[in-house]
Structure 1
Amino acid sequence: MVGALKPVPLLNAANVLTVARMVLVPVFVLCVVASRMTHDGWQLAAGLIFIVASATDYVDGWIARAHNLVTSFGKVADPIADKALTGAALVLLSFYDRLPWWVTALILVREWGVTALRFWVLRHGVIPASRGGKAKTALQILAIGWYLTPLPHALALIGPWLMAAAVIVTVLTGADYVLRAIRIRRESLARGGSMPPVPNAAPAVAPQADEPVA
């Protein structure tokens, strides 16, 4: 068929990076446990692994969008990898008394709640990426990475302020996401449950799940 889209191969660069990030999660956990957040060598290794793994989230998203490598596997696996990495880091920081448990609980409830909302509203429409969502992700990575990395006392004091900023932006963007999801669903139901038409465009597909949206 002339003009038909070629199927995207499951084994592509974006998905390989996503799987690599998933593989790094248990390695990261082992490094944190080995360090007990007191051994600088293991702790530094854990911090570096977290930063590298987090960076692959941006890289695989860019590759998927730039080279049209969006797959159903990527849409499901990518948010799971992201939440597993962030969740493991937060839980371990709280377990070793570096972070209050309520902070970990608040962020995890927001992250998994938004992920569930995202799939719930997907058939009604796609919520575009927001600057707030990107800022939230960047702040979380920076704050968690700051806590994980052994730093001089003066620099370590900046950590709680970074985490406070991350929590505030996390809550605000989460509320914004809920409001946008409700609005999209309401508008979709008003149209009879269909997604908004896009003139002269190919059929709409969901964005790669690694694109920050809230």
Structure 2
Amino acid sequence: MNLANRITLARIFLVPIIMFFLLINVKFPHVRIEQFTITYNQIIAALIFIIAASTDSLDGYIARKRKLVTNLGKLLDPLADKLLVSAVLISLVEMDKLDAWIAIVIISREFAVTGLRQIALLEGTVMAASKWGKWKTATQITAIIALLINNFPFAFIDFRFDLVASWIAAIITLYSGFDYFIKNKHVINFDDKKQ
């Protein structure tokens, strides 16, 4: 197994560790500054999430630079991304930090686009990543980090950046999904008579 795939696998293995720190029912010490409070387990989970999210670009860069692109990597990389984001979103809903509808919109889009990619592969077509897909990932990661760290430092000025970032992530996620389907509608066979 090459280095790029090992990094991707490491991202997958970090998912249960992040969830452990987010959902464990042990009373962790916390940091309190004026009206802002955060527990140490949230800080640890946020740091691990940032490390895991940053490996997404790293494994792709290494695979392209060293010509290590493999079918296993093509399978694991998007799987790792979806597992990481979905697991943390569901954990945030469980913690009452995120509205369930936002998590549902984001996760549903991932299922839909993955299904479209599978259909495209059966037709011998590879769907290229779009700039909206990259914006989708960036806004999701930003929103998740803001939620994990309890809206720091915006909590001090009473601005709900975490809420705004979550809405932006949901809107861009939806738009990027529509963009994929519109640009690749030729992949879907709508004529039942030919089947």
CA distance in 1, matches of 2:185, 2:66: 32
Q: TM-score, normalised by structure 2?
A: 0.83
Q: Which has the higher strand share?
A: 2
Verify the 8 A CA contact 1:140 1:166 in the aligned structure 2. Answer: yes
Q: Which has the higher helix share?
A: 2
**2:193: which partner in 1?**
none
Cα 1:89/1:22, change in 2 over 3 Å = same
1:4-15 superposed matches below 5 A: 11-15=1-5
Task: For residues 25-84 of structure 1, give each alpha carbon's deviation from its aligned partner in whole angstroms, at most 9, with x where no partner exists.
Answer: 010010101378975210000011111101101110111122221111111112111111
One of 7, 13, 20 as aligned partner of 1:23: 13
Task: For residues 91-120 of structure 1, give each alpha carbon's deviation from its aligned partner in whole angstroms, at most 9, with x where no partner exists.
Answer: 011111111111111110101211121122
1:53-202 superposed matches below 5 A: 53-122=52-121, 123-150=123-150, 151-152=152-153, 153-154=155-156, 157-184=160-187
Which AA in structure 2 matches 1:166?
A: A
Which AA in structure 2 matches 1:17?
A: I
CA distance in 2, matches of 1:53, 1:35: 23
**1:52: which partner in 2?**
51
Task: For residues 5-39 of structure 1, give each alpha carbon's deviation from its aligned partner in whole angstroms, at most 9, with x where no partner exists.
Answer: xxxxxx11110101100110010010101378975
Root-mean-square deviation (Å):
2.0
Cα 1:55/1:26, change in 2 over 3 Å = same
Q: TM-score, normalised by structure 1?
A: 0.76
5+ long unaligned stretches in structure 2: 29-36, 190-195
Verify the 8 A CA contact 1:124 1:184 in the aligned structure 2. Answer: no
CA distance in 2, matches of 1:35, 1:21: 24
Point out 4+ residue stretches in structure 1 off by more than 4 angstroms: 35-39
More divergent stretch after superposition (148-157 vs 119-128): 148-157
The count of aligned residue pairs is: 176
CA distance in 1, matches of 2:78, 2:25: 27
Which AA in structure 1 matches 2:14?
A: L
CA distance in 2, matches of 1:35, 1:112: 31
Q: Identical aligned pairs, as a percentage?
A: 39
Which AA in structure 2 matches 1:60?
A: D
Verify the 8 A CA contact 2:102 2:167 in the aligned structure 1. Answer: no
More divergent stretch after superposition (116-125 vs 36-45): 36-45
Task: For residues 107-164 of structure 1, give each alpha carbon's deviation from its aligned partner in whole angstroms, at most 9, with x where no partner exists.
Answer: 1010121112112202432222221111110010011011011424236611111111
Cα 1:112/1:185, change in 2 over 3 Å = closer
**1:206: which partner in 2?**
none
